[in-house]
Amino acid sequence: MDIQYEVVIIGAGPAGMAAAVYASRAGLKTAMLEKSAPGGKLVKTNEISNYPGFVTSGGPDLAFKMFEHSTAFGAEYLYGDVTRIHDHGNLKEIALADGSSVFTKAVIVATGRDERLLNIPGEQRYTGAGVSYCAVCDGAFFKNQEVAVIGGGNSALEEAMYLTQFASKVHIVIRRDVFRADEIVQKQLEENEKIHVIKKHVPVEILGENGKVCAIVLKNVETQEDTTLAVNAVFPYIGQDPGTSFVDHLDILDEQRYILTDERMATKVPGIYAAGDVIHKTLRQVVTATSDGAIAAQSVFHDLRG
């Protein structure tokens, strides 16, 4: 089997694109492998205002600039849906859904996370225009406005608390009459006058006006009656899943299926690295993803070239 590349980066989000810049600049024969459009969550984010060097930037605009940069030094961009990584020692085989394979000396997994969707009308249409899956990213755009958070777990309640520093009111919508979150988080929630909890309701539709979210339709799970709640943003927090199904046989995942790495972004399998939202870490932002990608690429360079 011929080695086609020295390093293949799976995923073309901020982590993957940063890795491509560093790997190709270091002279490695590099490819980025992506199953959809480059940019990752950037293409779903209306504005970015916490990435150094850009006071504010459209998410898709920043994604395009990163993509241009990522291929400027010779990295190739490949399209493909990865189904498995086969470890042949010094050679890695990346199997694709179309039956083909890509061979490489090293792999950087940068596939990020996929949000669990509400799967209701209006969600996809208004993603990036009021529907957001990241309060840290987009909360500041809704100062003195009312927003809705969907979910009753720790992440939902913590993000709702975060949003209170911007929004005039935060409505939390939960299906049951009790939260799944820790008691200490619930206590903080109860003490915040900006929080309004709507129990025993589920979202059924997101409404928009002039291209932006203006309301959400909620259904009472007991009476089946619909009510319309006027909000300027909807933050679904019903869970996220890391994109790691193609490495679940390599014993490099934690119990939540995130990839375990050391400070060099290396896994315990020689030649396999990971970066960005897909790894076990605390803060998942564009700036931390690019940092991870740079570290991973440098680690690959030093390990391959000594």
DSSP per position, 65-82 = HHHHHHTTTS-EEEE--E
Catalytic-labelled residue, pool 87, 114, 134, 303: 134
Residue with tokens 């291929």: 71
Tokens of 43: 């293409």
Token pair in block for residue 9 = 């980066």
CB distance 42 to 60 below 8 Å: yes
Cα distances from 269 to residues 35, 243, 248, in angstroms, run 24, 18, 13
Count CB atoms within 10 A of the CB of residue 124.
Answer: 14
Instruction: Give the sheet arrangement for strand 146-150, strand by strand.
Output: 195-198, 169-173, 146-150, 233-236
Contact 34, 135 (CB under 8 A): no
CA distance 57 to 51: 9
Q: Is position 262 annotated as part of the catalytic site?
A: no
- The helix (H) or strand (E) run that includes residue 202 is strand 201-209
SS3 content of the chain, % helix, strand, coil (to 5): 25, 30, 40
| Known catalytic residue at 134 | yes
Please list the active-site residues.
134, 137-138
